[in-house]
C-alpha cells in the first residue's frame, strides 16, 4: 500500500449547503476560489442605488418599499450615507469590512458579522449589521434574516446564528472566538478559523473514520482549516466516481476531490474515506471505483493527532 503520496484536493469555503470540494491537506496551497452565484441570498433583493458605487438591500414583506416609506419591512442602505438611522425608518450600513474577533468596530447598535457579499451561499466577507433589541445569547435558538448567509440575525454582539436550517432559517447562537488564544475554547473544542479566516468558532475535532465521532445532529466534515471538525448535519449521498460535488453533496463517509485523482471523473467527484491501517482498505477502495487505492490524506508528519491513518480512495 502506498503511504507516501500526498493527497491534494481543491479548496472550499464552508458552504451552508455543503456543496463543493474540500480544502487541501496541511502544507498545500489553495487551488480554487470561493463559490459565487448570479442570484442574491434567498429572501433578499439587491439592486443598484442612485448613489454610484452603493447597493440598496431591502428586506421584509414588501421588497419594493423605498427609503422614504414606513411600510412593512426594514430598509438597509449600504453606501455613503454614513452609519445608523436614515430618513423614513431606513438604516444606513457602514461600507467598511470589520473584524469579528476585534473589539466591536461598528457603530452603536451594530455588530460585525460574516456574510456572502457575492450572492453565493458561502460566507466570504464581513459587514456591520444591526443588533436585535432583545438578542439571543450563545446556546439559545436564533433566526437569520433573508438567508443563512445574509449577516443579519437576532444573536447578541460577538455571536452569530450557526447551523441555520435553509427552510426555517433557525439555528443556534454561537460565540466568535480568537484562534490566536489557545484558551479560547473549553476542551475538547478548538477555536477554528473558517472561510479563509472570515470568522472563527469553537468546534470539536473529529475523525471521519469514526461513525460516532460527533453528537446527534452533527457530522464530521473537513473545514477550510484543512482539518475535520463536527459541523451541523448537512446530509448528502455517496456519489462514487460518477458524482459531481458541485451538483450534489458527498456523504459524511466521503469527500470531494480533484478530478485528476479519480478515473473518468469529469469534475470534482466524491470518493470514500479509508483507513490506512485496514488490510482490506485497497480492496474496499477498488470496490468503490476502478483503479482506486487507499492513499494517505495528509503528508507524512503533517497529520493532526489521531488522524495519522486517515486515507482517501484515489488513483494510486
pLDDT tens per residue, range 134-168? 999 999 999 999 999 999 999 999 999 999 998 99
For 302, half-sphere exposure in the C-beta direction (CA atoms, 13 angstrom radius) is 17
Q: Encode pLDDT of 69-94 as tens digits.
A: 333 333 444 443 444 555 555 544 44
Judge whether residue 12 has pLDDT over 60: no
What is the distance in angstroms between the CA of the first residue and the CA of the last residue of the chain?
9
> Could you tell me the three cell numbers for 208?
471521519
> Could you tell me the three cell numbers for 217?
445532529
Q: Encode pLDDT of 219-270 as tens digits.
A: 999 888 889 999 988 766 544 544 567 545 788 888 888 888 888 787 788 8
Sequence-distant (≥ 6) Cβ neighbours of residue 167 within 8 angstroms = none
H or E element at residue 172? strand 170-175
Mean of the pLDDT values across residues 104-123? 87
Mean of the pLDDT values across residues 292-316? 92
Cα(36)–Cα(15) distance, integer angstroms: 11
Sequence-distant (≥ 6) Cβ neighbours of residue 264 within 8 angstroms = 241, 242
β-strand pairing of 190-194 with 199-203: antiparallel
Highest-scoring range by mean pLDDT, 29-33, 64-68, 202-206? 202-206
When computed from its CA atoms, the radius of gyration of the chain, rounded to whole angstroms, is 21
The reported pTM is 0.70
Amino acid at each position: 500500500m502506498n503511504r507516501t503520496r500526498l493527497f491534494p484536493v481543491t479548496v472550499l469555503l464552508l458552504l451552508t449547503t455543503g456543496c463543493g470540494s474540500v480544502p487541501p491537506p496541511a502544507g498545500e496551497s489553495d487551488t480554487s476560489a470561493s463559490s459565487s452565484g448570479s442570484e442574491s441570498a434567498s429572501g433578499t433583493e439587491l439592486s443598484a442605488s442612485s448613489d454610484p458605487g452603493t447597493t440598496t438591500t431591502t428586506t421584509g414583506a414588501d421588497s419594493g418599499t423605498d427609503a422614504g416609506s414606513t411600510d412593512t419591512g426594514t430598509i438597509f442602505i449600504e453606501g455613503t450615507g454614513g452609519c445608523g438611522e436614515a430618513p423614513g425608518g431606513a438604516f444606513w450600513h457602514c461600507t467598511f469590512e470589520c473584524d469579528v474577533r476585534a473589539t466591536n468596530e461598528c457603530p452603536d447598535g451594530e455588530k460585525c458579522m460574516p456574510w456572502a457579499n457575492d450572492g453565493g451561499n458561502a460566507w466570504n466577507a464581513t459587514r456591520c449589521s444591526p443588533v436585535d433589541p432583545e438578542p439571543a445569547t450563545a446556546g439559545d435558538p436564533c433566526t437569520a434574516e433573508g438567508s443563512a448567509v445574509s449577516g443579519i440575525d437576532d444573536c447578541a454582539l460577538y455571536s452569530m446564528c450557526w447551523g441555520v436550517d435553509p427552510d426555517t432559517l433557525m439555528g443556534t447562537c454561537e460565540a466568535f472566538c480568537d484562534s490566536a488564544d489557545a484558551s479560547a475554547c473549553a476542551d475538547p473544542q478548538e477555536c477554528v478559523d473558517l472561510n479563509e479566516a472570515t470568522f472563527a468558532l469553537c468546534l470539536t475535532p473529529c475523525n471521519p473514520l469514526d461513525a460516532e465521532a460527533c453528537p446527534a445532529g452533527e457530522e464530521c466534515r473537513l473545514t477550510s482549516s484543512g482539518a475535520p471538525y463536527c459541523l451541523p448535519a448537512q446530509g448528502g449521498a455517496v456519489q462514487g466516481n460518477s458524482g459531481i460535488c458541485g451538483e450534489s453533496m458527498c456523504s459524511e463517509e466521503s469527500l470531494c476531490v480533484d478530478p485528476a485523482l479519480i478515473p473518468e471523473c469529469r469534475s470534482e467527484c466524491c470518493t470514500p474515506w479509508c483507513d490506512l491501517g485496514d488490510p482490506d482498505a485497497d480492496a474496499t477502495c477498488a470496490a468503490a471505483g476502478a483503479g482506486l487505492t487507499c492513499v494517505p490524506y495528509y503528508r507524512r508528519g503533517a497529520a493532526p493527532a489521531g488522524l495519522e491513518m486517515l486515507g482517501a480512495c484515489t488513483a494510486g
